A and B are shown apart, each in its own frame.
Chain A
Amino acid sequence: MILADLAGRTFPPTAPYAVTEERLAAFAAATGTSRAVGGPAPTTFPIVVAFEAMTALMADPSVGIELHRVVHGAQGFVHTRPVVAGDRLTAQLTVVGLRQIGGADIITTSSAIVDATGALVCTAEATLVHKADD
């Protein structure tokens, strides 16, 4: 059972994630994305940081999410600037909406991904579908 008061709740920021050339190169290679050394991160790379924030949400016992019932319903990114090697990024997730459709909980989240100075780099919006009991 998902807490009804989950909407509007903001969770603590994730631990800083050090963006390195190696991590960017591995992500680019895995997705077949062309990228020069020192160049910007692939567009969807911030999911790595946002995913940590989503995992923390789903693992929080006070929220009541059962991980095996969760499906990633939608994802969006709004980039303020490209991610580059040397960035230290944290994600802070806010549950912006919670509704029920056909017994499933539709959880809309927005994670603000900021650099070491606190400047916004990317906003990652994820919709998580928490399916009803079988």
Chain B
Amino acid sequence: MGTELAPTTYRVTRADLLAYAAASGDHNPIHSDDQVAAAVGLPGVIAHGMYTLALAARYVDEYRGEPGGIVELSAKFTKPVVVPAGADGTEVRVSGVLEVRDGVETVSLTVTCGDDRVLGNPKAVLRG
């Protein structure tokens, strides 16, 4: 059955995306420029999928109380996280269910923005 972990909501702003681009080296302008995003058919500037996946990992770290405990992490990028300009940006909500099988802890995550599940089957396996 598993244990439900309390959800956490993370605010995501354009400033966060700029910081992530600088730290990760992914400077695709769809994460910063409205015109470029519109030109490729997006509803607006979107977060890096990897930024959202990093939030999922952060959530698991926060549950554990320390970083570095995830041995496996995976997800599909199913829907974009659109980030409006301004200090409000948007919000990404993460929740999880912890299961233990054969002594191995696995957290199955749910990551949403508005009504959309933005990650498909996000999952973290923890260090034993």
Chain A residues close to B by CB (< 8 Å): 23, 26-35, 39-44, 47-48, 51-52, 68, 71-79, 82, 125, 127
Interface SS of A by simple majority? mixed
Contact yes or no, A44 B57, CB < 8 A:
yes
Contacts of B57 in A (CB 8 A): 31, 33, 42-44
Smallest Cβ distance from B21 to chain A, in angstroms? 8
Choose among B55, B68, B71, B77 the residue that contacts A73 (Cβ–Cβ < 8 A): B77
Choose among A30, A39, A73 the residue that contacts B76 (Cβ–Cβ < 8 A): A73
Contacts of A39 in B (CB 8 A): 67-68
18 pairs, CB–CB < 8 Å, chain A vs chain B: A26-B22, A30-B16, A30-B24, A31-B23, A31-B58, A32-B55, A33-B67, A34-B62, A39-B67, A42-B57, A42-B58, A48-B24, A51-B25, A71-B77, A73-B76, A78-B71, A79-B71, A127-B76
B12-40 at interface with A (beta carbon < 8 Å): 16, 19-20, 22-26, 40
Contact yes or no, A43 B19, CB < 8 A:
no
The chain A residue with its CB closest to the CB of B40 is A68
Choose among A23, A33, A48, A76 the residue that contacts B58 (Cβ–Cβ < 8 A): A33
9 residue pairs, one from A and one from B, having the closest CB atoms: A40-B68, A76-B74, A43-B57, A31-B54, A30-B19, A30-B23, A74-B76, A26-B23, A27-B23
Choose among B25, B50, B58 the residue that contacts A75 (Cβ–Cβ < 8 A): B50
Contacts of B23 in A (CB 8 A): 23, 26-27, 29-31, 48
Contact yes or no, B67 A31, CB < 8 A:
no
The chain A residue with its CB closest to the CB of B48 is A72
